[in-house]
């Protein structure tokens, strides 16, 4: 076999398709019992498309990536909006001018809006640090409010940190969007594949030059190949010789309700209440019709081998130094290429994983 790809998520599937279309044979394997990695979805008994590993919204400004995925699926025109429960009120996140009027008395919101427009440019995302620099008590109050009510406790739950452990440089970048645009993403292209992500990836891999083997661990195979493309965790590839790269994981508690909808939006954040970070309701994505609905409460937790999935690389200086040790070993291998969120130890969105795979020289 000329090409062996470990991992049938977006990075691996993109590579497999590109290689197959060059006339090369590809074997793609995956530990899981399904393709599509953490973007895997399926229709349940109610006809609702469930995202097993949390909500996935495709968004990109890269026209080349958008044209690539549209070869394998049509997309709807879904544009993601997120609301959070702030002081018991449903309010838009990121904080914008609409949020301002949702959480503050009208006269106060009007006064702050006027000051913001006098000081900053409309339709820009302004870090709260810039508000603290102003000699104005209202703007300083707004910075403290956004930090406390939207960022601080949500981030503590998501990353498992006490508030005093959260890096001040990160908090300074928390934005307020000086706009009435409620969309969570402003990318040119946005949507959900009409038949789901699993079907999209299945279509990518539907080629006579591609063979798929699921429930297959790279460490346990004996196939010989000229080139290996590895999208698993780089520390696992090297048997953790320098130690474990830390990740945060996510646990989803699925619940079914005998009602049409559970909540107003596909995703509602709970920055200050409960132990979960947010609730997903999947019917919103493809406008699925059912008398029942399914939600998932999302709980963040540390990754532990054999217990859960790797989701978010914890990219601090110490962990990046550890990753760079593995990267130096990887550079010494002539026929092994690392990519994807786990192979590169980077947080990639789906479009970024595809773009990364498309950028590998295949000659």
Q: pLDDT tens per residue, the chain (363 residues)?
A: 799 999 999 999 999 999 999 999 999 999 999 999 999 999 999 999 999 999 999 999 999 999 999 999 999 999 999 999 999 999 999 999 999 999 999 999 999 999 999 999 999 999 999 999 999 999 999 999 999 999 999 999 999 988 777 776 667 678 999 999 999 999 999 999 999 999 999 999 999 999 999 999 998 888 788 999 999 999 999 999 999 999 999 999 999 999 999 999 999 999 999 999 999 999 999 999 999 999 999 999 999 999 999 999 998 899 999 999 999 999 999 999 999 999 999 999 999 999 999 999 887
Full domain range(s) for residue 327 = 3-77+194-245+310-358
Residues 277, 278, 279, CA angle at the centre, nearest 5°? 145
- 327: in domain: yes
With beta carbons less than 8 A apart as the criterion, state whether 251 and 297 touch.
no
- 298: in domain: no
Rounded to an integer, what distance in angstroms lies between the CA atom of residue 237 and that of residue 219? 8
Q: Is the pTM of this model over 0.85?
A: yes
Distances (CA, A) of 174 to 82, 140, 141, 192: 16, 14, 14, 27
- 161: in domain: yes
Instruction: Looking at the structure, tell me whether residues 96 and 173 fall in a common domain.
Output: yes
Instruction: Looking at the structure, tell me whether residues 104 and 210 fall in a common domain.
Output: no
DSSP reduced 3-state for 24: coil
User: Which of 198, 272, 251 lies closest to 54 in space, CA to CA?
Assistant: 251
**For the chain, how many structural domains are there in total?**
2
Backbone φ and ψ of 25, nearest 5°: -80, 145
Q: Which two tokens stand for residue 6?
A: 């470990």
């Amino acid at each position: 076999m000329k090409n062996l790809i470990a991992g049938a998520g977006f990075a691996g599937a993109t590579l497999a398709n590109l290689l197959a279309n060059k006339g090369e044979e590809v074997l793609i394997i995956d530990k899981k019992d399904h393709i599509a990695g953490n973007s895997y979805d399926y229709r349940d008994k109610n006809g609702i498309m469930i995202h097993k590993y949390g909500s996935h919204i495709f968004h990109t400004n890269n026209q080349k990536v958008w044209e690539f995925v549209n070869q394998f699926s049509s997309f709807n025109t879904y544009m993601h909006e997120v609301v959070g429960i702030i002081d018991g009120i449903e309010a838009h996140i990121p904080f914008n001018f609409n949020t301002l009027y949702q959480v503050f008395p009208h006269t106060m919101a009007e006064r702050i809006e006027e000051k913001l427009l006098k000081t900053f440019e409309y339709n820009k995302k302004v870090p709260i640090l810039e508000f603290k620099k102003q000699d104005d008590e209202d703007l300083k109050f707004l910075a403290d409010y956004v930090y406390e009510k939207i960022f601080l406790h949500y981030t503590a739950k998501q990353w498992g940190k006490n508030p005093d452990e959260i890096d001040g440089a990160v908090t300074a970048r928390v934005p307020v969007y000086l706009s009435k645009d409620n969309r969570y993403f402003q990318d040119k292209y946005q949507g959900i594949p009409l038949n789901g992500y699993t079907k999209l990836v299945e279509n990518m891999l539907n080629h006579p030059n591609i063979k798929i083997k699921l429930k297959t661990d790279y460490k346990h195979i004996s196939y010989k190949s000229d080139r290996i493309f590895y999208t698993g965790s780089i520390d696992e590839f090297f048997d953790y010789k320098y130690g474990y790269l830390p990740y945060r994981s996510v646990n989803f508690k699925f619940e079914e309700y005998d009602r049409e909808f559970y909540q107003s939006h596909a995703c509602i954040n709970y920055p200050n209440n409960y132990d979960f970070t947010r609730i997903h309701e999947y019917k919103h994505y493809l406008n699925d019709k059912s008398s029942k609905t399914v939600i998932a409460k999302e709980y963040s937790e540390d990754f532990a081998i054999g217990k859960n999935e790797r989701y978010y690389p914890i990219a601090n200086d110490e962990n990046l130094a550890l990753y760079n040790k593995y990267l130096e070993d990887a550079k010494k291998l002539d026929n092994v290429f690392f990519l994807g969120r786990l192979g590169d130890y980077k947080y990639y969105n789906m479009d970024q994983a595809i773009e990364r795979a498309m950028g590998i020289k295949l000659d």
